[in-house]
Structure 1
Amino acid sequence: MSSLKLASPATTRIGFIGIGVMGASMAGHLIKAGYKLNIFTRTASKADSLISLGASLLNTPLEVAQQSDVVISIVGYPKDVEEVLLDSKNGVLNGFEPGKISIDMTTSKPSLAVRVYQEFKERGAYALDAPVSGGDIGARNATLSIMVGGDQNAFDACLPIFNAMGKNVRLMGNAGFGQHTKSFS
């Protein structure tokens, strides 16, 4: 895998999928940090406040992936993670070129995180599992704890993104280790 550039508002386009209680605040912090956001949510009205801050609402996870360098997802359940990231028609993976990074912040299963990592790696892309703790208050205040699993170079490249959303950010180990750690918190 190639070396990755450090994420910065000047050069990194971020996709954000899942604008619920947690996601809306997290995405808002990224916009306030200066990042350009492409967003997708199943309920378009949930995106209104982010659109007013400059985010672009797109129609599918695939479109978000095509127009972003890093795509963050925080959705409801493991089945939603599979649909958003791996769907053969409109999933993020189909819109990724080598070198792009997926960050799934959904609380999910370690085995799914490993599967996602492997499928993205086969395409020359990166996948980090990065569940959070701190709840909606932590999301609102950008004080989330973020437990990350995946490759060191992808983690390092995304550290400015993580730091815009949380205060305690740690690489726990290989793919799936973020989810393993979250299951014990």
Structure 2
Amino acid sequence: MLSKESVIGIVGTGVMGESMARNLQKSGYSINVFTRTKEKAHLLLENGATWKKSVSELAKDSDVIVTMVGYPSDVERVYLGQDGIIENANEGTYVIDMTTSKPPLAKQIDREAAERNIHAMDAPVSGGDVGAKNGALAIMVGGEQDVFDDVMPLFEIMGENIILQGDAGAGQHTKMVNQIAIATNMIGVCEAIAYAKKAGLNPTQVLDSISTGAAGSFSLSKLAPRMLEGDYEPGFYVKHFIKDMTIALDSAQEMGLSTPGLELSLKLYKELAEKGENDSGTQALIKLFGT
């Protein structure tokens, strides 16, 4: 069982991971940190976190390990490599991958963890940088009920909408559903803003009118204002959204499901990336619409 004396290991302190780790730290947990670029962990280290020189060292010295890395290849290396988490964590350790990754990989991690009496969960999130900072993320979880119950106090620090969706891999599948819904919504938001401007309307006032009606969405209320302000700083990177949509499209095709909206959104975001916007926030899609 977990307690306030449990040590939390954090692997990955990017836009999302740093805020999630900071909220755990503020709640009184001791934090171990490893990330490829140590400078990205400076705020956590300044506030008392312990730096670990490798994933293996962190794994050996942590009761719970939370990972928030970039790509499925990173997840595979961090968990399944010879110097990774599964090979080096102690029996009874809880490992929670909060990266958006491939459902089959989540199942593989769960199987190999179980063989070593390590408790694994896939728990990708939604809510962007704002949700991470405010501890208000939606957390979509795959794994066993008893493990979910044990780590719920940690989830409640990082998020608000926390649901166990099923066995291993169910969290990742749910995140794919989330990304599919966002994909076409982002196109709609951009087209709506372009239309408002073309019609000679004040787009800010238009947003005030439509954001609370049937058109309302996170993209409309949170990202559309950034589009109007020309703020393209990443709450969520274009490159990571492309990664997520690619996983979703591959998963859909494996199930024989047609997703034309997802395919169009992926095409547009790849075009955006080719124009040098890989490290911009997803709201930079508006640049393709001439506004």
Displacement after TM superposition at 1:98 (Å): 1.7
Hey, what does 2:230 align to over in structure 1? Answer: none
Larger radius of gyration: 2
**Greater fraction of residues in helix:** 2
Q: Distance in 2 between matches of 1:124 and 1:8?
A: 19
Hey, what does 1:60 align to over in structure 2? Answer: 54
1:12 equivalent in alignment to 2:15: no
Q: Distance in 2 between matches of 1:52 and 1:97?
A: 27
1:163 equivalent in alignment to 2:161: no
Per-residue CA deviations over 1:33-72 (Å, capped at 9, x if unaligned) read 0000001000011111101111011011111110001100
CA RMSD in angstroms, aligned pairs only: 0.7
- The answer to whether the Cα contact below 8 Å between 1:8 and 1:160 also exists between their aligned partners in 2 is no
- For these two proteins, the number of residue pairs brought into alignment is 178
Q: Distance in 1 between matches of 2:20 and 2:3?
A: 16
Structure 1 unaligned spans of 5+: none
Hey, what does 2:136 align to over in structure 1? Answer: 143
TM-score relative to the length of structure 2: 0.60
Hey, what does 1:184 align to over in structure 2? Answer: 177
Displacement after TM superposition at 1:8 (Å): 2.4
Identity %: 50
Question: Larger relative CO (CA 8 A, sep 6+): 1 or 2?
Answer: 1
Q: Distance in 1 between matches of 2:163 and 2:170?
A: 11
- What residue identity is the alignment partner of 1:66? K
Hey, what does 2:104 align to over in structure 1? Answer: 111
Q: Distance in 1 between matches of 2:71 and 2:135?
A: 23
Per the alignment, in what secondary structure is the counterpart of residue 164 of structure 1? helix
Per the alignment, in what secondary structure is the counterpart of residue 171 of structure 1? strand
Q: Distance in 2 between matches of 1:98 and 1:160?
A: 21
Q: Distance in 1 between matches of 2:27 and 2:59?
A: 21
Per the alignment, in what secondary structure is the counterpart of residue 138 of structure 2? strand
1:25 equivalent in alignment to 2:26: no
TM-score relative to the length of structure 1: 0.94
Displacement after TM superposition at 1:99 (Å): 1.0
- What residue identity is the alignment partner of 2:138? S
> Which consecutive segments of 4 or more residues in structure 1 shift more than 2 A?
none
Structure 2 unaligned spans of 5+: 179-291
2:80 pairs with one of 77, 86, 94: 86
- What residue identity is the alignment partner of 2:100? T
- The answer to whether the Cα contact below 8 Å between 1:15 and 1:65 also exists between their aligned partners in 2 is yes
Hey, what does 1:131 align to over in structure 2? Answer: 124
**Greater fraction of residues in strand:** 1
